[in-house]
Copies of this chain bind each other. A is one copy, B any other.
Amino acid sequence: MEFLTAVTPGEALGIIKSFPLPKRKRLRVGIDQALGRVLAEEVVASDDIPPFARSLVDGFAVRVKDIYGARETTPALLVAKGEVRVGQQTTLKVGPGEAVYVATGAMLPEEADGVVMQEQTRRTTHDIEVTKPVHKGENICFQGEDIKRGTKVLAPGKRVSAFDAGVLAALGIDEVAVYALPEIALISSGDEIVPIDVLPPLGKVRDINRYTVSNLLVSAGCAVHFIGIAADRLDDISAKLQEARDFDVIILSGGSSKGESDFVTAALETLGGKLLFHGINVRPGKPTIFGRLWDKPVFGLPGHPVSCSLIVLRFVLPMLTSLKGETDPRQQTVRGRLGANVPSSYGIEEYVRVKLAFVEGDWVVAPLYAKSSVISMLAKADGYIIVPEGSEGLEAGEEVEVYTFG
């Protein structure tokens, strides 16, 4: 077995991000199903939106020069000439000195260049008095003012938001091409791990990582397939890896501490794969494995639930982002000031779970200390901060970036 020394977090991310990924699969989905999916095509407007000039208010379509200088005491007098209801096509024209009633959203009659709100008019028997002028274009949404025909409205790689769905609806696009969800195979490993519905005999514990890792991946927009729990034996780990062969990424949890890692690295080699790094200079989560097998990325995550989750957040999700085809992923962060000193070791990038409190207009960041196996503390945390490898710690009052949990 070749021996690899631990890499820096930067090197690890470099190796992970430069891993040659397969061509992304695409599929077409209805716009009802598009929310949160990543677009695989450019959307170009085939129409002007709105397709005709519309009134933005209930009022009178006018020629603005007819009501120039109108006021309460010296109103402009116009001849009322019909009405356009919403949804109606109109052939009415607004001639000089004329006004046409238009409802909100109604099509603007020809030759009108402004709409006076009803509240700024008075009705006389046959005419209307306008008590306030409007400027050219006021209260009108012009044809193509929202979206011009031919405009590139959405780019490939954009995650579809509720408003993007609105844009697609406006254009009458009821189906779009999106990238397929990354399909992740998840294997738990370790002789001490039992399924959660089994009462663990003394010496064994329930499989926590299956649930934390799969939920983190699902939240990040992946489809997760749980393969099973592998015992610490070369044959069992190899068999589980074989079962995972058809998925885009293979993730094992557990099995990467010194004692157990031999089985994972040996299985990788036996099956013709290649170890790319073994160990990252981070805490917690140092004994992390990354390799290639059947041209697919394989992660071996530490078995401690907290270490395992933090490595997913820091090192696995960046690869999944590019596998998803997302060009502008948003990492939710909050900037705040440390409420206490955070000691750390030089040469190690450290992840510290924190709690956020909003105090007098500022976020105060309180570090939570606990051993790396303590999952209950992670459930209480609002996020984590990164103490850089080149730092011996952070001081109370320093500004830090908090990577918040969903």
Interface residues of A (CB under 8 A from B): 31-32, 35, 49-52, 54, 56, 58, 84-90, 103-107, 118, 141, 145-147, 153-154, 161-174, 190-193, 196-197, 199-213, 215-216, 218-219, 232, 257-260, 303-305, 309, 332, 334-335, 361, 371-379, 381, 399, 405-406
Contacts and interface: CB of A to CB of B under 8 A. Distances in A.
Nearest to A207: B169
B373 A163 contact: no
Nearest to A258: B58
Contact of A166 (B147, B172, B305, B361): B305
8 closest A-B pairs by CB: A87-B191, A162-B215, A87-B192, A166-B212, A104-B257, A89-B203, A163-B379, A165-B211
Given A162-B215, A210-B169, A104 B191 contact: no
A266 B174 CA distance: 34
Contacts of A335: 335
Contacts of A257: 58, 103-105
A196 B174 contact: yes
B31 A196 contact: yes
B172 A206 contact: yes
Given A35-B215, A103-B257, A375 B172 contact: no
Contacts of A54: 205, 373
B162 A309 contact: yes
A46 to B, nearest CB: 11
B146 A375 contact: yes
A170 B168 CA distance: 44
A17 B107 CA distance: 38
A141 to B, nearest CB: 5
A86 B260 contact: yes
A165 B215 contact: yes
A3 B123 CA distance: 22
A149 to B, nearest CB: 12
Contacts of A334: 334
B371 A192 contact: no
Given A146-B376, A211-B168, A212-B163, A51 B205 contact: yes
Nearest to A363: B335
Given A145-B374, A161-B406, 9 more contacts: A54-B205, A58-B258, A87-B192, A104-B260, A141-B373, A162-B216, A165-B215, A169-B208, A172-B196
Nearest to A118: B258
Nearest to A224: B32
Contacts of A378: 163, 166
